[in-house]
Structure 1
Amino acid sequence: MPSKDTLERNQVWVYLAAIIIGLVFGGGVPALAQTLEALLWPALAVLLYTTFTQVRLGQLPAAFRDVRFVSAALIGNFAVLPLLICGVLLLVPDDPAIRLGLLLVLLVPCTDWFITFAHQAGGDLRRAIAITPALLVAQMILLPLYLWLFMGADFMVIVSAGRMVTVFGIVIVLPLVAAFATERWAGEAPARIATIERLGWFPVPLLAFVLFLIAASQVEAVMGSIPLLGDIFVACIVFLIGGTMIGLAIGKAFGLPVGQARTLVFTLTTRNSFVVLPFALALPAAWEMAAIAIVFQSLIELFGMLALLWLVPRKLVPST
């Protein structure tokens, strides 16, 4: 049986295979589209629960003890990156659904696989783990504000979407509360902590299952969006390059040591795609490109991480 580390190292291929299999399956059995879409919501809820259990929400106060690193991460993610995203949006068609999808995913820093990538690149694992609760709380508070600033009148369409409140409560809030309750239940008991660690096996296969369900239930939308994927690809690549450069600049400006500087690069280039995915899926049919843009961005990001895993420790932030 492969180790958890091996599974995480190869997750990009797992997700790509899940999407391809989903498209083939959905194209061959289109009558099952509604059933597969119905399975998507509980699958997302379980995925987010297992993911949130790996974020130590009880450690939120401790995250702010290292003022220099936390300031660099928060300023980079929530003050500088939005300026980059303004430019990135100029690279895609003036389509509200595409813009919304990119805004949803690019504005929210990752709180899960960024830890894995930062660690694999020789980053500071302890600080990567410590910063995740702060990133999660900050993005949930600031995302509505940024959507309102970027989308204007279209933001009201998003807020008034029929399923939005229900999705937020059932697919986001309940898993978050359940994860926090699980963390409190575990306390300092080694056996219970081990249970939470075992839950860390589930995010990769569950996300693969979610991607399979999306691809299988949205075959027509995915195939119809192919002409637009080129522009989204360019925009996401520009974001990755820009985020990397910003991370290097802020790390240098704050005088961060090598491990922390590497971690900073990864928190500025990885995004919380499947945490915001439920919001995109809850929108009316006319907004289906938002979810497709999020899934496509996450795949581009994962391939980008393969490049950064080599570049960051060897070229961009070497040990010297």
Structure 2
Amino acid sequence: MTTFLERHQIALYLAAIAVGGLVGFLVPRAADGLELAINPSLIALLYATFLGVPFNRLRAAFADRRFLLTLLVLNFAIAPAVVFALSRFVAHDEALLIGLLLVLLAPCVDYVIVFTRLAGGDWARLLAAAPSLMLVQLLLLPVYLLAFAGSRAVTGIDWQPFAEAFVLLIVLPLGLSIATQWLATSKAWARRIMGGMEALMIPLMVVTLFTVVASQFGSVADRIGDLVPLIPIYAAFAALMPVLGFAAARVARQERAPAIALAMSGTTRNSLVVLPLALALPPALGLAPLAVVTQTLVELIAMVALVRIFTRGGRSLAAKPS
């Protein structure tokens, strides 16, 4: 069964996105309940992911300063330059602009780890870098918002969701996985949990993709006419950042797996964390949360495509730098 799932995982992910979109469109009243399931499904998925590799690899990843520096430059120097250029296409619409900036300026720290693992990247390094990514974006996001969109973009935003998301989506599943691995050295039931969670990786990803898309699709569909200008911008970002990620990896002389991790991190954004920030904006900026959600939908399709590229046809792109 596991072999079947692994062989057809990309088709299953695309099906989850498609079915989620259909459910979100046909049964919009289900969105509220499904939205409540996003964090539990993410926690389970991340727990399964963190169980997958012994944590001596994580300790080694903390010492890789070159990777961390490259990751920070990619996400907080290169990506903002790309975002600024792309955002000029909607600079005339304040709500779309602020929503776009909120989401594209914030690198993901949760499910990027899962997609990186699926793509064959060095997810342990990303996990080790997660606190740095969260802290730096918390410090720099207001600065970039102020520079790119003006003072209104940072007024009245509650930044607490960043801390809450880090504890809920990183610290909690990470702590549980460390405890499980420690118990597995002496307890058979803990070893069975580890084996079971490994087998559930793909089903959990399917459930998460379905839940996120189904809970958000209806609200986007209702305002699709207003949100259409964002779709090519988000698609362009998703196309550019993997290339820039590999370019940065080549300059930093990173191996294939860290290079994939850099490409995935540069592309994947912190949409589920910044959405509460967008919801806290004044009513006049009511399109901003939908701009964030639209990015999530575009990004999920891009992530599935990147996993396929890196695991099937992307070996030359992700090859070890010379």
Which residue among 86, 89, 107 is the counterpart of 1:88? 86
Which residue among 126, 133, 141 is the counterpart of 1:147? 141
1:223 aligned residue:
222
Q: Distance in 2 between matches of 1:129 and 1:303?
A: 16
1:29 aligned residue:
none
1:63 aligned residue:
61
1:305 aligned residue:
306
Equivalent residues of 2:46, 2:173 under 8 A apart: yes
Residues 1:252 and 2:246 aligned together: no
Equivalent residues of 2:256, 2:319 under 8 A apart: yes
2:208 aligned residue:
206
Q: Distance in 1 between matches of 2:267 and 2:162?
A: 25
Map 1:1-320 to 2 at 5 A: 3=4, 5-6=6-7, 8-10=9-11, 11-26=13-28, 32=29, 36-37=31-32, 39-53=33-47, 54-55=49-50, 61-111=59-109, 114=112, 118=116, 123=120, 125=121, 128-152=122-146, 153-160=151-158, 165=160, 173-190=167-184, 191-192=189-190, 195=193, 197-198=197-198, 200=201, 201-216=203-218, 218=219, 222-229=221-228, 231-281=229-279, 286=286, 287-302=288-303, 304-305=305-306, 308-309=309-310, 312-314=314-316, 316-318=317-319
The aligned amino acid for 2:96 is I
The aligned amino acid for 1:305 is L
- What TM-score, normalized to structure 2? 0.74
The aligned amino acid for 1:228 is L
Q: Distance in 2 between matches of 1:186 and 1:78?
A: 35
Cα RMSD between the aligned structures? 3.6
Are the structure 2 counterparts of residues 50 and 248 from structure 1 closer, same or farther at C-alpha, using a change threshold of 3 Å?
Answer: same
**Following TM superposition, by how much is the alpha carbon of 1:183 offset from its aligned partner in structure 2, in angstroms?**
2.6
The aligned amino acid for 2:223 is G
**Following TM superposition, by how much is the alpha carbon of 1:86 offset from its aligned partner in structure 2, in angstroms?**
1.5
The aligned amino acid for 1:20 is L
The aligned amino acid for 1:235 is I
Secondary structure, in 3 states, of the residue corresponding to 2:89? coil
The aligned amino acid for 1:273 is S
Residue-pair matches, total:
299
The aligned amino acid for 1:267 is S
**Following TM superposition, by how much is the alpha carbon of 1:176 offset from its aligned partner in structure 2, in angstroms?**
4.1
Equivalent residues of 2:134, 2:162 under 8 A apart: no
Q: Distance in 2 between matches of 1:88 and 1:66?
A: 32
Are the structure 2 counterparts of residues 150 and 213 from structure 1 closer, same or farther at C-alpha, using a change threshold of 3 Å?
Answer: same
**Following TM superposition, by how much is the alpha carbon of 1:234 offset from its aligned partner in structure 2, in angstroms?**
2.1
Gaps of 5+ in 1: 27-31
Percent pairwise identity: 24
Q: Distance in 2 between matches of 1:250 and 1:16?
A: 33
Q: Distance in 2 between matches of 1:88 and 1:193?
A: 48
Are the structure 2 counterparts of residues 71 and 139 from structure 1 closer, same or farther at C-alpha, using a change threshold of 3 Å?
Answer: closer
